[in-house]
Structure formats: C-alpha cells, structure tokens
A and B are shown apart, each in its own frame.
Chain A
Amino acid sequence: MRARTILVRKVIGLVVTLLAVYTLNFFLFHMLPGDPAYALVGPRMPADQVAVIHEMLGLDKPLYVQYFISLKLLLVDGYLGESWVFDKEVLDIVLDKMQYTLLLVGVGTALTVFVGVNLGIIAGSRRGRPVDVAVVGSSLAFYAMPAFWLAMIMIMGFSASLHWFPLEGMESDIGREKPLGERVPDILWHMVLPVTVFVLVSISEFVMMMRNALVDSLTEDYVTTARAKGLTPKDIVRKHAVPNALIPTVATTAMFIGWVVTGTIMIEIVFNWPGIGTLTLSALNNQDYPLLQGLFLVVTLTMLLANFGADIVYTYIDPRVRI
C-alpha cells in the first residue's frame, strides 16, 4: 500500500515535470526572433502570401491558442513539426537517429558501470595503497578531460597513425548491401574507440562513489562484527561491505544519465557517429529550429523517463528512502 502511494506520487511528479519541460520548450522557441514563414519560403515573399502561410501554420492565433494546438498535435498525433531542411517529420528523423545513439550509449553505460564499480571496489578495499592512489588519480585525470579532446587524441593515435581502427562513422561502405554477419563485426569495429572514450570520461563518477561508499561502510560496526566472527578480509568486503556500498551507486547512475547526453553529443561529433549528437550539430548549423526544438524535447523526455526508472529502482532496493 505504502509503496503504491509513493509510486503514484512519483508518477504525478513526472507528469508535471514533463508538462513543465514542454511548456518551457514551447515558449523558449516562440520568443525567438524571426518569422517561420520567411524561413520556409525565403525573405522576398509578398505580404499576402505570408499571411496565408501564417494562417496555415496557425501563427495568426494568440500564443496560448498555439500552445494548446501544438500540445494536442503532440499528444494525439505524435506530431512535432516538420524539419526545414530534411523535408521530413521531426519525430521520424529523431527516432531514426536515436537508435544509433542508444547503441553507443547502452554499451558504453553498461561497461562504465561494470568497470567503474569494480575499480571502485579494488581501490576502496586497498585504501591508501599504491593501487588506490593510481586508480583514483587516473580516474580524476580522465574526469578533467574534455570528451572531444580525448576522442581526437584517440583518433590521432589509433586511427591516423596506427590504422587499428577506422577514422570515423559507424560502418564502412554504407551504400553497399551487406549480410548481417558482415555488418555486425564492422559496426563493432567502428564502436571500439567511441565506446572507449565514453567509458574513460564517465567512469570517475562511479569509481569515486563506489570507493568512498566502500571506505565508509568498512568503518561500520557490522564489519567489525564480521571480522570478530573470523571472516576473511575478502569475504568481509564481498559479502558485507559491497552490497551496502552499492546503494548510493544506483543513485549515481540516475545522476549520470544527465551527463550521458553531454558526453555523447561530443563523442558523436568527433567520430561522426550518425546519432543524436551529429544531428544536433547539423540542426544547429542549418538553423533548423523545428528539428532543434524536437531534439531538445525528445532528449529531455528520455532523460526524465530514465531518471524516473532509476528513482523507482532506488526506492525498491533501499527501504530507507521510502519513509
């Protein structure tokens, strides 16, 4: 019963936030200078023609009416407008690119969490020793690195000089039809460097969180009890300290989701990965405002949902949060 009330409250909160983001997004883009009619047909348009376009787009109505029209279009038809450049619906373009981004981010995040947590355990259980110093030091150094710079260095070293990995893109010879057995290894080969950069620049959060939580929980009374019972140090860490230290790490995952977008946009641009990041850059350079607006909305909604998911998991594994 209790859990259900919390869930209901969280869902209501989510809906309110979603609506707030949508509203913010709408008014932000409508305060922009410039007339979409001119952007569509060019600046040398006669005034009566402009009026026709205004009527078509609903721009002659007051702003709040426009707001409800566009909200209705989004909720009922899933319509986010047309791109000015690609001549396609914004939502279709965004969803198409989203799958490639999710591939990169999914693999990257899974690796980051796995490697980060394990490095954190290694460092935390050997606090103050050289291993600890090395792990903490290097993860801090990578934290301070701009993702795009590291990506460029990687390309300089491993692609341009050593020719181990491709310079850019997600596949080689895109035009050619290929069987799946050939495509998968090709894509994996293209993914190695972007995923490596992703893991390196985002791992420090997990290493530090896991290490500090472990150091904390190793000073708790139940660890002393476990030691008194005669458990080996290895068992104390694995069976008693780690499970408790894992809880804050889940919270970190939720915070981490916000960073994912920033990191991914950078990495995609440098590696020319055909995902949301490169799409954002091209929309920005083409001043394709409807596409940019749609991108912002979809990305934010995805983040909100992911955050929501992490929140629920957190409530589930840590009973203390439920109070």
Chain B
Amino acid sequence: MQRASVLTKILPGKSGDKDKKSSVRSERLRLAYKKTRRTWKLFRSNRLGILGFLMLISFIVMAIIAQPLHALGLISDPNDLRESINPGRELEPPSAEHLLGTDEKGRDVISDLFYGCTATLIVGFAAALLTIVFGSSVGLLAGASGKIADEVLMRTTDLFLVIPWLPLAIILAAFLPPKGEPAMLKVIFVIGVTSWPATARIVRSQVLSIKERSYIERAVCLGSSRLHIMRVHLLPNVFPLIFANAIISVAWAILSAAFLAFLNLTDPNKITWGLMIYNAFDVEGFGAGAWWFVLPPGILIVLVVLGFTFVSYALDDILNPKLRRR
C-alpha cells in the first residue's frame, strides 16, 4: 500500500520534469526523516548511549559558553597572557577567588578548563572529519574499483596501518613547517593523516559486501556508471557505518591531540587539556602535589572520550543488526 503511494509520488504521470524532481526529493527527505526518528527511538532506549549523549552535550555547552562567560568577566582568557597571568601567584591551591587554584603561570585553572574545552573539541572534530573523509574515500574507491586499484590502495593502507602511530605523528609534527602560527591546523593534519587507515579498511569491507547484492548487479545491467553506483547505491549504504566510525574517531583524535601536546608538539600558547597536563608535568607540578592543576584536565579528557565511546557503542548496537539480536 505504502509502496504504491510512493510510486505515484515519484512518477506523477503528466506533471513536468521539474515537478517530478522536487517530489522525489521531498519523498526522500520524508523517508530520511522517518529513518532518523526510528534510529533516535532505538538510541533513546539505550541507557549507555543516552548517558554518553548527555555527557557530550554538556561538553559542547561548556565549549560554547566559554566566550560569553569571558565577556561577562566570570573567567579570564588564558590564551591572552597580558590579561590572565598573575606573577607571584603560581600553583596556588584552591581558594574562594580561584575555585580550582592557579596554574604554572598563575592563571585561573577553571578558565583554562573552559577555554581548553573549546580548543580540544575543535581539534577533535576537525581531525575526525579529516580522518573520516580521507579514510572512507579510500575505502569506497578501493571497494568499488577494479582489482588493481583495490590492491594498490589496500597495500598502501596496510603500510600505514603497521607503522606505529606515535613515531610517525612525531616526525610529521616535528618537521611540518612552521613551528609557530597555525599549529592547531598542523595537529589536525597530523592526526588525520595518521589515523585514516582503520576507517578505510572498515568501509572497504562493507562496500565489498554491499557490492555483491543483486540491486547493484541490476544497476550495472541498466548501464549505470561506476560513479553513479558509488554515489547513489554504495555511499548511502555505508554511511551509517561511517557515522559510527566518525564518533569513535573523535575520541581517538582527542586522545591523540593530548599525546602530541604532551610531547610539546602543539602550540604552547593555545590552551588545551593535553597542554595543561604537559605544563603540569613540565614544571613538576605533579611532584609538588598540585592536584588541582593535574587532576581536572585529565578527568575531563577521560569523560569526553568515554562520552564518545558510549555513543558509538550505542550506535553500533542499533546499526549492526547482528549485535541487536544478542
């Protein structure tokens, strides 16, 4: 019954070509909306997923309100040294004025945390986006192309997969010019370039299994070009997988950025949570027992990584029908 109505909508008979196109589009939108709502319903029933989702929402809120709070004068901008440093008041324990004490330059730790949240999330999302776009393009191309292209792409992927991540990232970060200005872009680039192979592998294997289905064969018989098949049939079908993978990639990117910050390979003037821990390590704040400076950034990293992990587990449960049965 429903299918019939869909067909009449898609093929409205006499009406013009333009009209047909727009009605196809609106039907697609309706279906996409329906699907999203169903997924959301399933997601809502997953307690871990909701927990992770709430955690992520609160971190995003934290990142967004950093600027307004600064405008209200509640926190100071740790990246603006003239405004925020307090000489002579370094590593002070928590007090009424500074609820979580001060850092190695006498800056308010709470302000560091808020500004660090913005930078951490931006790096995480951007690096994950780069990873996903690059990884899934390689995976899609490898899966959908002929044998030789597949072999070449996959051997390259394997090569990058076996190279230990951190040494490669260190070398790239150390040598990419320049060491100064847009260091954030460099970090994003380094993480993206070093973490795409896993995504490429996952996407390729999914493409290979979809390629065997009969509707692809039908499309080939109808004379669809390879590009058309990739765009219309393969990409939408691997998209849920790419999405779940993107979420876990953000978690990985945030951890990676913290690693790079700890090796002093990121911009020392742009506060992130990883850089805070590095600073605490650098001034031996942890040996002096400055727990208010060491603990909070680490705890926040753990929470944000867990948040992304929970959401990705929940999505896995929903999108992977094999797991749902269990």
Interface residues of A (CB under 8 A from B): 17, 20-21, 24, 28, 32-33, 140-141, 143-146, 148-150, 152-153, 155-156, 160-161, 167, 215-216, 219, 258-259, 261-262, 265-266, 269-270, 280-281, 284-285, 287, 292, 295-296, 299-300, 303-304, 307
Judged by a CB distance under 8 angstroms, whether B127 is at the interface is no
Q: Given the known A-B contacts A215-B326, A281-B263, are A141 and B162 also in contact in the complex, defined by CB atoms under 8 Å? A: no
Interface of A is mostly: helix
CB distance from A126 to the nearest CB of B (A): 16
A149 touches B298 (CB 8 A): yes
Q: Given the known A-B contacts A146-B277, A152-B294, are A17 and B158 also in contact in the complex, defined by CB atoms under 8 Å? A: yes
A155 touches B286 (CB 8 A): yes
Residues of A near B274 (CB, < 8 A) are 146
Question: In the complex, A215 Cα to B174 Cα: how many Å?
Answer: 44
Residue from the list A20, A153, A307 in contact with B294, Cβ < 8 A: A153
Q: Given the known A-B contacts A144-B251, A144-B305, are A261 and B167 also in contact in the complex, defined by CB atoms under 8 Å? A: yes
Which residue of B is nearest A28, CB measured? B171
Residues of B near A161 (CB, < 8 A) are 289
Which residue of B is nearest A148, CB measured? B262
B298 touches A284 (CB 8 A): no
Nearest 3 CB-CB pairs, A to B? A144-B305, A149-B298, A261-B164
Which residue of A is nearest B173, CB measured? A284
Task: Please list 19 pairs of residues, one from A and one from B, whose beta carbons are closer than 8 Å in the complex, sorted by A's number.
Answer: A17-B159, A20-B159, A144-B251, A144-B301, A144-B306, A146-B255, A146-B298, A148-B259, A149-B294, A149-B298, A149-B301, A152-B281, A153-B298, A259-B165, A269-B262, A270-B281, A285-B264, A292-B170, A303-B162
A303 touches B309 (CB 8 A): no
Residue from the list A32, A160, A284, A300 in contact with B170, Cβ < 8 A: A284
Which residue of B is nearest A254, CB measured? B162
Q: Given the known A-B contacts A21-B159, A167-B287, are A266 and B165 also in contact in the complex, defined by CB atoms under 8 Å? A: no
CB distance from B278 to the nearest CB of A (A): 8
Complex interface bits, B261-286 against A, C-beta within 8 A gives 1, otherwise 0: 01110000000001001001100001
CB distance from A102 to the nearest CB of B (A): 15
Q: Given the known A-B contacts A262-B165, A266-B259, are A144 and B281 also in contact in the complex, defined by CB atoms under 8 Å? A: no
CB distance from B247 to the nearest CB of A (A): 14
Residue from the list A28, A156, A262 in contact with B286, Cβ < 8 A: A156
Judged by a CB distance under 8 angstroms, whether B60 is at the interface is no
CB distance from A282 to the nearest CB of B (A): 12
Residue from the list B174, B287, B305 in contact with A160, Cβ < 8 A: B287
Q: Given the known A-B contacts A262-B164, A284-B170, A307-B162, are A153 and B295 also in contact in the complex, defined by CB atoms under 8 Å? A: yes
Residues of B near A32 (CB, < 8 A) are 175
Residue from the list B168, B177, B262, B287 in contact with A296, Cβ < 8 A: B168
The number of chain B residues touching the other chain, given as a range, is 35 or more
Residues of B near A287 (CB, < 8 A) are 174
Residues of A near B171 (CB, < 8 A) are 28, 292, 296
Which residue of A is nearest B262, CB measured? A148
A262 touches B174 (CB 8 A): no
A295 touches B167 (CB 8 A): yes
Residues of B near A152 (CB, < 8 A) are 277, 280-281, 286, 294, 298
Question: In the complex, A285 Cα to B303 Cα: how many Å?
Answer: 31
Question: In the complex, A241 Cα to B273 Cα: how many Å?
Answer: 43
Q: Given the known A-B contacts A140-B306, A152-B281, A292-B174, are A146 and B262 also in contact in the complex, defined by CB atoms under 8 Å? A: yes
Residue from the list B166, B251, B302, B326 in contact with A219, Cβ < 8 A: B326
Question: In the complex, A146 Cα to B194 Cα: how many Å?
Answer: 18
B286 touches A160 (CB 8 A): yes
Q: Given the known A-B contacts A149-B298, A156-B291, are A17 and B167 also in contact in the complex, defined by CB atoms under 8 Å? A: no
Judged by a CB distance under 8 angstroms, whether B163 is at the interface is yes
A300 touches B306 (CB 8 A): no
A146 touches B258 (CB 8 A): yes
Q: Given the known A-B contacts A144-B251, A155-B286, are A262 and B166 also in contact in the complex, defined by CB atoms under 8 Å? A: yes
List B residues 127-163 near A (Cβ within 8 Å).
158-159, 161-163
Question: In the complex, A143 Cα to B298 Cα: how many Å?
Answer: 13
Residues of A near B295 (CB, < 8 A) are 153
Residue from the list A28, A141, A153, A261 in contact with B166, Cβ < 8 A: A261
Residues of B near A292 (CB, < 8 A) are 170-171, 174
Residue from the list B162, B174, B255, B258 in contact with A258, Cβ < 8 A: B162
CB distance from B56 to the nearest CB of A (A): 13
Residue from the list B159, B164, B168, B287 in contact with A156, Cβ < 8 A: B287
Question: In the complex, A215 Cα to B294 Cα: how many Å?
Answer: 38
CB distance from B9 to the nearest CB of A (A): 43
Question: In the complex, A280 Cα to B174 Cα: how many Å?
Answer: 12
A266 touches B170 (CB 8 A): no
Which residue of A is nearest B301, CB measured? A146
CB distance from B129 to the nearest CB of A (A): 21
Between B263, B301, B305, B306, the greatest number of chain A beta carbons within 10 A of the residue's beta carbon is seen for B263
Q: Given the known A-B contacts A140-B306, A146-B274, are A258 and B164 also in contact in the complex, defined by CB atoms under 8 Å? A: yes
CB distance from B257 to the nearest CB of A (A): 10
Having A148-B281, A152-B281, one finds 19 other A-B pairs with CB under 8 Å, namely A28-B171, A140-B309, A141-B302, A145-B302, A146-B255, A146-B301, A148-B277, A149-B298, A152-B277, A153-B294, A156-B286, A156-B294, A160-B288, A259-B165, A266-B262, A269-B262, A292-B174, A300-B164, A303-B163
